[in-house]
Structure 1
């Protein structure tokens, strides 16, 4: 009887430990934004696309409708248990260029300045119906053929 109680205690302890670890908050950083010191070095009206890319790095994206700006994006995403990830911090730096490729404007945005907008969204239909893992697993039980394992 003492062994059974000890096993139950270890099982409960294991479940509690797994639950605690699963519910730990994790933060992930994505992207790159130049530091304020690096942005101070950008000289509007003097620096070009090439000199800016060399000084502070390549941008995360270029202009959406034309090749008229560099966009640097950094996001901090909070992951907590089974909940959907939540963007808790976003920084965007946009450097606009004129037709000659010379820097004309530098803008800084944060998450508080607006709402999150996906730049692109691609959806591919994989043909799998929206059924749960257990349903997909159990639906294949009748399709198993043992002769496929032993045939050579």
Structure 2
């Protein structure tokens, strides 16, 4: 009888550990300013003031410094499966040649397509929209080998 009770306990512990190992774990990477932080930035604000309020971004315009990009991604890890990105958000702040804010936009992903979540000034895309496309273009292209390197 004692051996049977131990076997049942061992099976219960094993089942618990197997279930816990398959529970999803969510990780956030990067930083995107909140709407309250962005409300402090007005059109015409100088680049130094933006840096003072929001901090320096993780990405800038690829060919020139006409825009700053704040990027945040949310990843889901389940068991032994490769991590999967489930959400990505980008805030793009455009500057004129004099270093003053001309536009603030927030982008997200919906059904695998880049969508504008909010826009402060203009109705057309920012000048560096190709950078936003590149940032979002990596969704789904991540390989587990890339994470290990």
Structure 2 unaligned residues grouped into runs of 5+: 115-132
Mapped partners of 2:5, 2:36: distance in 1: 60
CA shift, 1:14, in A, is: 1.9
CA distance in 2 between counterparts of 1:4 and 1:117 reads 57
Aligned residues: 119
Q: What's the CA shift for 1:117?
A: 2.5
**Which residue does 2:42 correspond to in 1?**
43
CA apart distance, 1:93: 0.3
4+ long deviations beyond 4 Å:
none
Deviations 1:3-26 (A, max 9, x none): 322232122112101111101121
The aligned counterpart of 2:126 is: none
- Tell me, in whole angstroms, the C-alpha distance in 2 between the residues paired with 1:91 and 1:64: 18
| Farther off after superposition, 64-73 or 108-117 | 108-117
Partner of 2:63: 65
Of 108-117 and 17-26, the range deviating more from structure 2:
108-117
Q: Partners in 2 of 1:52 and 1:38 — Cα distance?
A: 10
Listed as ranges, the matches of 1:1-152 within 5 Å are 2-44=1-43, 46-112=44-110, 113-114=113-114, 116-118=136-138
Q: Which runs of 5+ in 1 are unaligned?
A: 127-152
Distance in 2 between residues matched to 1:11 and 1:109, nearest whole Å: 50
Q: CA deviation at 1:27?
A: 1.1
Which TM-score applies when normalising by structure 2?
A: 0.70
